[in-house]
């Protein structure tokens, strides 16, 4: 279990901006504001920060801006620190967290910030998002992230005979939970199965309410070695696993398109790192960019047998009162999916749950929270497992 060479790492501060359309703010300012909130939460000063790992997937095109880590560091008053950008397409926020965890665990960095930001409201995002797919062998055929997910959903429905209503319940659960999250985009919109099934067809069988929305946001985490966590917070949360795995890049090259090998492999590595199994996980922040993805990830992580993830939705097991709650603060579907920031929202929400700060969404006494972050068509998947103090 774990690597004895590595230090245990604690999350000692979190910061989130409300997921909205932040037309007036610049990308850098959104990120710096999230960092400021996270440092305030950790009662830490900018001078104490030694490293900043940043992610923004779309800034090259939408803001004509590269080199965002150094730009954000400067804006946040951190000029001087180590600052690098880490990416894995739509999982980029988790990639920044992975590097921050490694830097602190190794002993090289004593206080690190992972920040993610995205400002999607100023541009046409679909062709930019499609760059997460194979530009030579997929995109020229009209393939997009939506069409890939539509193909997986159709195959799933056909192969396993899952009722379409069951998949709609992933979105219903997400919207219900978002109502209590002041940072969520769709906090005013509880929806029903009928709403999902009557919503506009985007790419059959995917309808509008199967999809996460386009939005702006920024979120940050402050990480410190466990032995120093008490200096920053009375409620540290341990990161017990931080793993990455990849799969064949194109879905067409995979033995079973519904198996999501990168998710399975990344979860297995994470369980081994943490010395835990799926039975120990109290809740799961899945990368529910599309409802089918939430279902497939539940299966890949061992929360359901292959082909039976939809039963968890139908049985209510994914609801806050169920066996394996997901999207507890709204998920990508209803909190929103500002790409580069998303995983840092997920991580912050897990910390909120584990420290009793989830407000109207609070789960009863959770001990272990897990998250997965999906890059592109699941060619890259990252898994993080968090455990509360004393857990």
Angle between the 164-178 and 145-160 helix axes, to the nearest 10 degrees?
130
Q: Which of 237, 244, 318, 387 binds a copy of itself (CB under 8 A)?
A: 244
Is residue 246 close enough to count as binding a copy of itself by CB under 8 A? Answer: yes
Token pair for residue 128?
Answer: 């930019």
Residue 96: CB minimum distance to a copy of itself, A: 9
Q: Which of 376, 383, 384, 385 binds a copy of itself (CB under 8 A)?
A: 376
Determine the Cα–Cα distance for residues 317 and 287; give it in Å rounded to an integer. 17
Q: Which of 372, 371, 370, 366 is nearest to 388 (CA)?
A: 366
Taking the least distance from each CB to a copy of itself, the nearer of 85 and 216 is 85
Residue 383: CB minimum distance to a copy of itself, A: 11
Taking the least distance from each CB to a copy of itself, the nearer of 105 and 111 is 105
Helix (H) or strand (E) holding 366: none
Number of residues this chain uses to bind a copy of itself (CB under 8 A): 65
Q: Which of 60, 122, 337 is nearest to 71 (CA)?
A: 60
Is residue 73 close enough to count as binding a copy of itself by CB under 8 A? Answer: yes
Determine the Cα–Cα distance for residues 306 and 371; give it in Å rounded to an integer. 19
Q: Count of CB atoms within 10 A of residue 135's CB?
A: 10
Is residue 261 close enough to count as binding a copy of itself by CB under 8 A? Answer: yes
Helix (H) or strand (E) holding 330: none
Determine the Cα–Cα distance for residues 156 and 261; give it in Å rounded to an integer. 16
Taking the least distance from each CB to a copy of itself, the nearer of 75 and 177 is 75
Residue 152: CB minimum distance to a copy of itself, A: 17
Taking the least distance from each CB to a copy of itself, the nearer of 45 and 79 is 79
Taking the least distance from each CB to a copy of itself, the nearer of 103 and 296 is 103
Helix (H) or strand (E) holding 55: strand 51-55
Token pair for residue 388?
Answer: 């509360």
- Choose the binding region for a copy of itself from 11-19, 113-121, 238-246, 383-391 (rule: CB under 8 A): 238-246
Is residue 119 close enough to count as binding a copy of itself by CB under 8 A? Answer: no
Residue 244: CB minimum distance to a copy of itself, A: 4
Of 268-327, which residues contact a copy of itself (CB under 8 A)? none
Taking the least distance from each CB to a copy of itself, the nearer of 325 and 375 is 375
Task: Give one DSSP letter per residue of 103-138, joined into a string.
Answer: HHHTTS-SSEEEEEEEE-SSS--HHHHGGGS-TTTT
User: ω into residue 205 within 30 of 0, thus cis?
Assistant: yes
Phi, psi of 150 (to 5 degrees): -65, -40
Determine the distance from the C-alpha atom of residue 86 to the mean position of all C-alpha atoms in its chain, rounded to a whole number.
15
Q: Which of 118, 210, 216, 247 binds a copy of itself (CB under 8 A)?
A: 247
Determine the Cα–Cα distance for residues 309 and 282; give it in Å rounded to an integer. 17
Q: Which of 33, 41, 118, 134 binds a copy of itself (CB under 8 A)?
A: 134
Is residue 85 close enough to count as binding a copy of itself by CB under 8 A? Answer: yes
Residues that bind a copy of itself (CB under 8 A): 3, 5-7, 26, 28, 51, 57, 60-61, 63-67, 69-71, 73-75, 78-89, 95, 98-99, 102-103, 105-108, 131-136, 139, 243-250, 253, 261-262, 265, 375-376, 379-380
């Amino acid at each position: 279990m774990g690597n004895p060479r590595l230090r245990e790492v604690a999350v000692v501060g979190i910061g989130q901006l409300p997921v909205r359309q932040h037309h007036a703010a610049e990308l850098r300012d959104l990120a710096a504001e999230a960092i400021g909130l996270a440092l305030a939460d950790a009662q830490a000063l900018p001078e104490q920060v030694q490293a900043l790992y940043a992610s923004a997937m779309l800034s090259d095109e939408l803001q004509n801006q590269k080199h965002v880590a150094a730009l954000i560091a400067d804006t946040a008053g951190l000029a001087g620190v180590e600052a690098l950008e880490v990416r894995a397409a739509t999982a980029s926020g988790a990639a920044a967290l992975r590097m921050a965890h490694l830097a602190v665990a190794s002993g090289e960095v004593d206080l690190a910030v992972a920040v993610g930001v995205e400002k999607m409201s100023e541009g046409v995002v679909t062709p930019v998002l499609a760059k997460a797919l194979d530009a030579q062998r997929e995109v020229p055929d009209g393939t997009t992230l939506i069409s890939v997910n539509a193909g997986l959903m159709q195959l799933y429905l056909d192969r396993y005979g899952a009722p379409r209503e069951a998949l709609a319940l992933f979105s219903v659960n997400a919207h219900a939970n978002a109502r209590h999250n002041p940072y969520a985009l769709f906090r005013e919109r509880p929806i029903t199965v009928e709403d999902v099934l009557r919503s506009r067809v985007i790419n059959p069988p995917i309808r509008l309410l199967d999809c996460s929305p386009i939005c702006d946001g920024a979120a940050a985490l402050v990480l410190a070695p466990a032995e120093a966590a008490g200096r920053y917070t009375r409620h540290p949360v341990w990161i017990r696993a931080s793993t990455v795995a990849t799969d064949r890049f194109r879905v067409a090259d995979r033995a079973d398109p519904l198996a999501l090998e990168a998710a399975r492999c990344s979860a297995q590595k994470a369980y081994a790192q943490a010395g835990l199994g799926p039975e120990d996980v109290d809740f799961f922040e899945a990368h529910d960019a599309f409802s089918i993805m939430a279902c497939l990830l539940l299966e890949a992580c061992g929360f359901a047998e292959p082909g039976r993830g939809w039963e968890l939705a139908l049985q209510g097991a994914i609801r806050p009162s169920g066996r394996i709650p997901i999207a507890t603060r709204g998920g990508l579907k209803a909190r929103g999916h500002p790409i580069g920031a998303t995983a840092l929202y997920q991580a912050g929400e897990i910390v909120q749950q584990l420290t009793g700060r989830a407000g109207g969404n609070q789960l009863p006494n959770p001990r272990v929270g897990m998250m997965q972050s999906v890059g592109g068509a699941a060619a890259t998947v990252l898994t993080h497992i968090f455990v509360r103090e004393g857990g």
